[in-house]
Amino acid sequence: MADLIEKDQEIALKNDGSPTKRFIRNESDRPNLESPLGRIPIIDLSYVESKDLDQRQVEDSKLKSASSFWGLFQVIGHGIPTSLMDEVRNVQRLFFKLPPKEKQNYTIADSKIYEFKEGYGSDPVLSDEQILDWNDKLYLNVHPEEGRKMDLWPQNPESFKEKMFEFNEKVMIIMDEIFKAVARSLGLDEFYFVNNGIKGLITWRFNYYPLCSKADLILGMKPHSDATSITIILQDDQVSGLEVFNDEFGWVKVPIRPDALVVILGDEIQIMTNGQYKNVLHKVVTNSEKERISLSMFVHSNLQNVLGPIDELIEDGKPKLYKTTTVKNYQDGVMANFANGKYSIDAIRV
């Protein structure tokens, strides 16, 4: 089955924000719009390169605690001006406000439905029974540069490419600092991840969640973990929607902090650390009064990389929790699992 011809934004506009029955979740899966606000840890990256080693150890310790208990954290002190973050958000909003016909210029029509396709659209529909997520997206390959399909990068707004290139340069630096901090917190050489191809493929997903008059019946995005090493998220600065699951607190809202980036740990990190650090189950709820945007930056290791627990991180007396495979083999089944609400990491548990 091909992608939906009519996008969620168009459905929302036509039906005064009311979803069709294909979006209505089963009663047990419907969101609680009154989920509590989570106290998500905040890591100050400005100390990463500091000569104040005591303060750096404090931040690394906070990162270690956040990674093992939450599977995510927010970062400040990253060096990206708030003005640039606001410009990226604004350019994204302008793109999704373009007429449907113009946005369709950035859509790829092909038969490969078991993958996240580049360009503008909705997630693939793999079966008539699939309950759909209430979002549209623009999905682009960003790194390596030779993998970019520039014909899919919007020409309107005119500043789209300029702002995204500027933002990407800064985010790439932040990624390295995060990976070095994660390595240090695990007792590894700080360049362990950086030197082993952990930034093999980076894709960006610009998310648009139309307002929905029945927000209590649908989800902007179903519960899932990311099949990444990490995912960095630039949240909407006005409308909340991202929720994460914690074993102790259940589902909680991720607070909005306009100057912060959200860092979500993915399946790769949980596998490589043999469960010491957690991926995090997350979902998106919609809003009955306001539309919402976000930008998710997915970081995948090189497809040829071996994916399995790192020998140095196998604790005495504890077995390996995951089978060893390759990143490519792991990625091959991700789209089908996501569409069907399954978790890819379950397939390689020992």
Query: What would the pLDDT profile of 194-251 be if each residue is shown by its tens digit?
Result: 999 999 999 999 999 999 999 999 999 999 999 999 999 999 999 999 999 999 999 9
Q: What share of the chain is helix, strand, coil (3-state, %, to 5)?
A: 35, 20, 45
Handedness of CA 279, 230, 294, 238 (dihedral sign): positive
Query: What would the pLDDT profile of 62-94 be if each residue is shown by its tens digit?
Result: 999 999 999 999 999 999 999 999 999 999 999
The answer, yes or no, to whether residue 5 has pLDDT greater than 70, is no
Torsion of CA 146, 148, 151, 152, to 10 degrees: 170
Residues facing 298 on adjacent strands = 203, 231
Q: Are 136 and 208 in contact (CB under 8 A)?
A: yes
Query: What would the pLDDT profile of 316-340 be if each residue is shown by its tens digit?
Result: 888 999 999 999 999 887 877 777 7
DSSP symbol at 186: T
In the numeric block, which tokens belong to residue 94?
A: 């302008």
Query: What would the pLDDT profile of 251-263 be if each residue is shown by its tens digit?
Result: 999 999 999 999 9
Confidence of residue 341 (pLDDT cuts 50, 70, 90): confident
In the numeric block, which tokens belong to residue 255?
A: 């607070």
pLDDT recorded at residue 230: 98
The answer, yes or no, to whether residue 55 has pLDDT greater than 70, is yes
Residue 67: strand, helix, or coil = helix
Query: What span, in angstroms and rounded, lies between the C-alpha atoms of 304 and 173?
Result: 23
The answer, yes or no, to whether residue 110 has pLDDT greater than 80, is no
The answer, yes or no, to whether residue 127 has pLDDT greater than 90, is no
CATH number given to 8-348: 2.60.120.330
Residue 104 backbone phi and psi in degrees, to 5: -65, -20
What does the angle CA 183 – CA 186 – CA 191 come to, to the nearest 5 degrees? 20
Give CA 95 to chain center in angstroms.
20
How many CB atoms are closer than 10 A to CB 275?
A: 18
Mean pLDDT of the chain: 91
Q: Are 51 and 42 in contact (CB under 8 A)?
A: no
